[in-house]
Structure 1
Amino acid sequence: MSLYRDLHINNGDLVLDAGFNPQYLTDRAVIAQDIAHAIIESGLAHLLVSDRGTGVTADTKVRIKLLVEDDTRILPGTVRVESLDNGQWWVFADTIDFGPLSQRITEGLL
């Protein structure tokens, strides 16, 4: 049995299965989707992705970290915001009940 359950949203659209029924996410995936939506809705994703190497990046990373740590399902002190070699930004954190999660940060809708 799942503790959390939510509709799966991708690129701003509801994800449907082969029978055109909505797909659902559970537990860790729900938390990751909620975190991604919070970052996008806050405008921080745009700041981070559009900024290339200025001082804004460090401040934005801290703001994202604090935003994610405000989620009561996240273990405090475990949030990391990192840029991978391919230029993509990711959030890594440990959930209290479901272990580690990772979520890519994008400017657009999920």
Structure 2
Amino acid sequence: MSQFIDLHIQSGDVVLDAGLNPSYLTDRAVIAQDIVHAILDTGLAHLLVSDRGTGITADTQIKIKLLVEDDVRIMPGTVRVEQVSKGQWWVYADTINFGAISSAITTNSGAENA
């Protein structure tokens, strides 16, 4: 039985299954989705993705790390924010009960979770 269940949201919309019923996420995926939405809601994703070497990047990464570590489901000290290519960032962290998570940071809310 899952501890966390939530609607699967992608690009701001509920994801529907083949029968046009809402799709749900559980546990690890819920935490990853919640983290992405928290980052998007604060506007930090826009700062990070749009920064072109102005020095905002390091401060924004720290703010994102602190925001993610504020989630009680995340193991403190495990959050990493990494640029994988120009304009593409990922957040990595370990959850307390469900292992590692990772999520792409994009400004269109269409984040990828793993």
TM-score by length of 1: 0.97
Q: Which residue of 2 aligns with 1:45?
A: 45
- Cα RMSD, aligned residues only: 0.9
Q: Which residue of 1 aligns with 2:101?
A: 101
Distance in 1 between residues matched to 2:55 and 2:86, nearest whole Å: 20
- Aligned pair count reads 110
TM-score by length of 2: 0.93
Cα shift readout 1:34-62 (whole Å, capped 9, x = no counterpart) = 00000000000000000011210000000
SS at match of 1:72: coil
Q: Which residue of 2 aligns with 1:67?
A: 67
TM superposition shift of 1:86:
5.3
Task: Name structure 1 gaps, 5 residues minimum.
Answer: none
Q: Which residue of 1 aligns with 2:80?
A: 80
Distance in 2 between residues matched to 1:108 and 1:44, nearest whole Å: 13
Distance in 2 between residues matched to 1:88 and 1:109, nearest whole Å: 13
The percentage of counterpart residues that share the same residue type is 71
